[in-house]
Chain A
Amino acid sequence: MDPRPLYVSSRDSFAGTVREAHPGSSPGAPTRYAYAMRARRDDADQVPAEPDIDENGVDRAQIRAMLQLTPEERLLRVEEFIESIIEIRKLNEERPVR
């Protein structure tokens, strides 16, 4: 459980700091509410771009990423992906996940 107070008073919540000593926290430390609000503000500034999916459901960004690689790197990427799947399947051989 986060020891920081959720809020101290409405004024303090807006100020975003703990005015008085609180168990597990100290005066001047941001409240959890302040943390949450700050995170929300930051998120608003960093809205991910819309994925570049075409009308057939094809991820164009994935294609462009592949095109940045050399032909051998492309082969390697595909093989590593398949090898990782095989590894996961082996791990589940004794107790298969259904």
Chain B
Amino acid sequence: MRSARSAEILRLLARKEVEFIVVGMTAGVLRGAPVTTVDLDIVHRRSPENVARLLSALAELDAVYRHDPRKLRPKESHLVGPGHQLLTTIHGDLDCLGMIDQDRSYEDLLEQTTEMKLAEGLSVRVLSLGALIEIKERCGRPKDLAVVPLLRATLEELKREP
């Protein structure tokens, strides 16, 4: 079996010991929702040490801002802030989010996550389906609300599983 491209990004982040949480629809996919997404969203811990590790991983991934024709590279000053850094890498698009859901940081989200094993020796922290649904509902944009029934149905099916 070939490896998923987003899994390659996650593998590198894990190898570099970056502290992050997979959020957005990739979290939904990992939790079992049959949805599509074209980018990987993560919320990273914004401590100087972790940002340094993240920058090292991003350099290896050849990450640049995907909406900027100058192909600017993310810097420490970008990643320590609460903003959203929308990047493209050799393994696809990656969004490094300082905060989501108005003002929730890595530390705030931590209790609504669990570690998921992706492969032998590779575990990543993923937002729970319940938390993802709450966030999508609070966002309230049509694109967020559109996926809520599917995420809810997935949560119900998960609860039915033995």
Binding site for B on A (CB under 8 A): 54, 56-60, 62-67, 69-76, 78-79, 81-82
Query: With A and B bound together, what is the CA distance between A82 and B36 in angstroms?
Result: 8
Query: With A and B bound together, what is the CA distance between A76 and B2 in angstroms?
Result: 8
Once A78-B35, A78-B36, A78-B37 are accepted as A-B contacts, the answer to whether A71 and B30 lie under 8 Å apart by CB is yes
- Main SS at interface, chain A: helix
Residue of A60, A70, A71, A75 touching B157 (CB-CB under 8 A): A60
Once A63-B157, A65-B34 are accepted as A-B contacts, the answer to whether A76 and B149 lie under 8 Å apart by CB is no
Residues of B within 8 A of A67 (CB): 32, 154, 157-158, 161
Residue of A60, A74, A82 touching B153 (CB-CB under 8 A): A60
Chain B, interface residues (CB within 8 Å), range: 20 to 34
Residues of B within 8 A of A71 (CB): 30, 116-118
Residues of A within 8 A of B154 (CB): 63, 66-67
Q: Give residues of chain B (1-45) contacting chain A, Cβ–Cβ below 8 Å.
A: 1-7, 26, 29-30, 32-38
Residue of B30, B34, B36 touching A63 (CB-CB under 8 A): B34
Query: With A and B bound together, what is the CA distance between A64 and B7 in angstroms?
Result: 22
A-B pairs with beta carbons under 8 A, tally: 68
Q: Is the CB of A58 within 8 A of B4?
A: no
Q: What are 8 A-to-B residue pairs whose CB atoms are below 8 Å?
A: A56-B152, A60-B157, A63-B32, A63-B150, A65-B34, A72-B119, A73-B1, A75-B7
B8 to chain A, nearest CB (A): 10
Considering the complex of A and B, which 5 residue pairs feature the smallest CB-CB distances, nearest first? A56-B149, A75-B4, A58-B153, A76-B4, A67-B32
Q: Is the CB of B149 within 8 A of A75?
A: no
B10 to chain A, nearest CB (A): 9
Query: With A and B bound together, what is the CA distance between A59 and B35 in angstroms?
Result: 11
Query: With A and B bound together, what is the CA distance between A65 and B118 in angstroms?
Result: 18
Query: With A and B bound together, what is the CA distance between A82 and B150 in angstroms?
Result: 19
